[in-house]
């Protein structure tokens, strides 16, 4: 199985930001990519004004989870479709 996901490194532990289908203590190979690459990828999708407005957003994790739960099918397919519309 090969899966890419976002994670946070804190206190010497790499923590996934989403559930991953692994057995307890299962050994895996990890490839690290710094977030600078991801930021560059997103920069072209939003105007500086949109970034500035979003900085003031006060959205809770529960609100994000509720919004994501309404997406039918695969989140990646939805994102790809939205990008193709741009």
Would you say the pTM of this structure is higher than 0.85?
no
85 pLDDT exceeds 70?
Answer: yes
Average pLDDT over residues 51-64: 86
Cβ(52)–Cβ(35) under 8 Å? no
Range of 23-27, 33-37, 56-60 with top mean pLDDT: 23-27
62 pLDDT exceeds 70?
Answer: yes
Average pLDDT over residues 60-82: 86
Rg of the chain over all Cα atoms, to the nearest angstrom:
16
The dihedrals phi and psi of 3, each to the nearest 5 degrees, come to: -145, 135
The runs of H, that is alpha helices, within 1-86 are 35-43, 48-55, 61-69, 75-85
Handedness of CA 64, 36, 52, 78 (dihedral sign): negative
């Amino acid at each position: 199985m090969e899966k890419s996901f976002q994670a946070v490194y804190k206190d010497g532990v790499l923590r996934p930001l989403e559930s991953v289908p692994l057995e307890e203590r299962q050994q895996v190979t990890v490839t690290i990519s710094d977030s600078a690459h991801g930021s560059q990828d997103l920069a072209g999708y939003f105007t500086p004004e949109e970034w500035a407005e979003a900085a003031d957003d006060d959205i809770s994790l529960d609100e994000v989870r509720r919004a994501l739960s309404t997406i039918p099918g695969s989140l990646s397919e939805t994102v790809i479709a939205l990008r193709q519309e741009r």
